[in-house]
Amino acid sequence: MRRSKKERQERLNQTIRENPFVTDEELAQEFGVSVQTIRLDRMELSIPELRERIKYVAEKNMQDEVRSLPIEEVIGDIIDIELDKSAISIFDVKKEHVFKRNGIARGHHLFAQANSLAVAVINDEMALTGKADIRFTQPVKENSRVIAKAKVIRSQKGRTIVEVSSFVGSDLVFRGEFSMFRAPSAEKEEIDETRN
Amino acid sequence: MRRSKKERQERLNQTIRENPFVTDEELAQEFGVSVQTIRLDRMELSIPELRERIKYVAEKNMQDEVRSLPIEEVIGDIIDIELDKSAISIFDVKKEHVFKRNGIARGHHLFAQANSLAVAVINDEMALTGKADIRFTQPVKENSRVIAKAKVIRSQKGRTIVEVSSFVGSDLVFRGEFSMFRAPSAEKEEIDETRN
DNA sequence: TCCGATATTAGGACTAGGTACTAAAAAACA
DNA sequence: TGTTTTTTAGTACCTAGTCCTAATATCGGA
């Protein structure tokens, strides 16, 4: 026994967490014990076998991939929409949205939610943001749920003013007035069929 | 032969790309051929076996994890900075930044670059955006390189005005005036040691 | 120092999801 | 029809395990 079972198991746990791609064989060598001991340890700690671990990491990746695309398309989930009138979306602030130093949401995420909603509410093929006057009225912390409400203020020949107010609970955290225009429909590029 | 080897192999390729977690057994059933045929197909198409595929996806994930954080932290690459005076960053517009419909960059990416730069230029522990007045003066297309220039206009007791102008070539595409304040340093939360 | 408990190691049988190879059967074509 | 291509079948082997039994080691206390 090198330094008691307990210590080995703790280090084992950490080692695997750091590098999930390590085999029992390699672990046995690293800790100077037999493969069987490693297997017993894994059982006691309920750490799955290598292949399961790899699979888990891979699956997590796939989930992220499908998750990140729609998030890119529309930031936040639209829960209600009345075209050319109003729309509501929710956006959950996770750790990837905040400054690491203080846990406050980075401004551009709140902007993205609001801007995205302003685009979505417009009942037209294309909408582009022309101007925006925005205010971050209160810092938003990690794990908050931000509710953005967009309202179309007026609309006249290709220009639409949308006002978006975002709340956490009953606190106003963001307000913006977006001046959108229905895009000059810039020449659409051919879809490149040569790429994979 | 269901519809020639070629067609099966094409569909095989696509199926695996869509779901890398599929076994030869399952593929054989889906295409109504034997497992051996599937294996031959995989060889001819040099598609690795299930475990290799899963491993690849998992590894990609690990790479992304270390890569995605810094990218999240500063949008665009800062190429020059003089704290409390000015800063310049470049941001390449890729296909994930544009509207699929017309290839025009989504506003919030330009905003993110500018806002990010405004935060970076401030020589203080924390900076938060309070207000912003922004203008998208020209649509930016895929594959453009956007150069953002930030200039500190004035600074007085915890409030700093930063002006950011972004260009594609010599064309002004975005302009914003950001009113930043040095954060009220919202109470830092304990790091939750209970979670895994 | 011996006893019993705990910890470790060894070994065998079995598993999934393959590779690599040989050989035979089936289908396509000319 | 014969030849070529394609498909299938079967064997031995591999990795990285599981599950189980049995034999040793090692430790701590009476």
| Domain locations in chain A as residue ranges | 4-67, 74-181
Please tell me the predicted confidence (pLDDT) of residue A83: 83
Report whether pLDDT(B84) > 60.
Answer: yes
Please tell me the predicted confidence (pLDDT) of residue B123: 67
Taking the C-alpha atoms of residue B10 and residue B25, their distance in angstroms, rounded to an integer, is 18
Query: Average pLDDT in the B134-139 region?
Result: 88
| DSSP assignment letter at A141 | B
A115·B101 Cβ contact <8 A: no
Query: Average pLDDT in the B175-188 region?
Result: 67
Nearest to A133 by CA among B107, B177, B113: B177
Q: Which of A129, A164, A182, A192 to mutate to test the interface with B (most CBs of B within 10 A)?
A: A129
Report whether pLDDT(A3) > 60.
Answer: yes
Q: Which of B117, B128, B175 to mutate to test the interface with A (most CBs of A within 10 A)?
A: B128
A72·B189 Cβ contact <8 A: no
Taking the C-alpha atoms of residue B38 and residue A37, their distance in angstroms, rounded to an integer, is 39
Summarize pLDDT for A127-156 with one digit per residue, the tens: 778 888 888 888 999 999 999 999 999 887
| Upper half-sphere CA count for residue A96 (Cβ side, 13 Å) | 13
Report whether pLDDT(A112) > 80.
Answer: yes
B135·A131 Cβ contact <8 A: yes
Q: Which CATH number fits domain A4-67: 1.10.10.10, 3.40.630.30, 3.90.1150.10, 3.40.190.10?
A: 1.10.10.10
Which chain A residue has the Cα nearest residue B61?
A61
Specify whether the CB–CB gap between B51 and B32 falls below 8 A.
no
Nucleotide nearest to A51 (CA to C1'): D16
Which nucleotides on strand C sit less than 7 A from a protein beta carbon? Answer: 7-11, 16-21, 27-28
Chain B within 8 Å of A170 (Cβ-Cβ)? no
Interface of B with A in 47-86 (CB under 8 A): 51, 54-55, 57-62, 64, 68, 72-73, 75
Interface of A with B in 109-168 (CB under 8 A): 111-112, 115-116, 119, 125-126, 128-136, 139, 141-142
Please tell me the predicted confidence (pLDDT) of residue A69: 31
Taking the C-alpha atoms of residue A132 and residue B133, their distance in angstroms, rounded to an integer, is 6
More confident residue, A79 or B49: B49
| DSSP assignment letter at A148 | E
- B37 pLDDT band, cuts 50/70/90, is very high
Specify whether the CB–CB gap between B127 and B180 falls below 8 A.
yes
More confident residue, B65 or B126: B126
Summarize pLDDT for A168-177 with one digit per residue, the tens: 988 999 999 9
The packing angle between helices B35-44 and B4-18, to 10°, is 80
Using an 8 Å CB-CB cutoff, list chain B residues near A64: 61, 64
Which chain A residue has the Cα nearest residue B113?
A108
Phi and psi angles of residue B190, each rounded to the nearest 5 degrees, phi first: -60, 145
Phi and psi angles of residue B185, each rounded to the nearest 5 degrees, phi first: 45, 45
- CATH superfamily ID and name for B74-181: Hotdog Thioesterase (3.10.129.10)
- B72 pLDDT band, cuts 50/70/90, is very low
Summarize pLDDT for A52-99 with one digit per residue, the tens: 999 998 987 775 544 333 334 557 778 778 888 888 898 999 888 888
Q: List the strands of the sheet with B145-156, edge to edge.
A: A77-82, A86-92, A145-156, A159-168, A171-181, A128-136, B128-136, B171-181, B159-168, B145-156, B86-92, B77-82
Query: Average pLDDT in the B169-175 region?
Result: 92
Residue B84 (CA) to nucleotide C5 (C1'), in angstroms, measures 70
Phi and psi angles of residue A149, each rounded to the nearest 5 degrees, phi first: -120, 125
Taking the C-alpha atoms of residue A35 and residue B127, their distance in angstroms, rounded to an integer, is 53
Query: Average pLDDT in the B59-86 region?
Result: 64
Three-state DSSP class for B131? Answer: strand
Query: Average pLDDT in the B23-42 region?
Result: 95
Residue B3, both tokens: 């519809």
Report whether pLDDT(A188) > 80.
Answer: no
CATH number attached to the domain at B4-69: 1.10.10.10
B111·A111 Cβ contact <8 A: yes
Taking the C-alpha atoms of residue B133 and residue B164, their distance in angstroms, rounded to an integer, is 10
The packing angle between helices B4-18 and B24-31, to 10°, is 130
Report whether pLDDT(A193) > 80.
Answer: no
Q: In this structure, how many other beta carbons lie within 10 angstroms of the beta carbon of residue A84?
A: 14
- B63 pLDDT band, cuts 50/70/90, is low
The contacts of residue A169 (CB under 8 Å, 6+ apart) are: none
DSSP strand pairing (B128-136 vs B86-92):
unpaired
Query: Average pLDDT in the B150-162 region?
Result: 87
| Upper half-sphere CA count for residue A191 (Cβ side, 13 Å) | 4
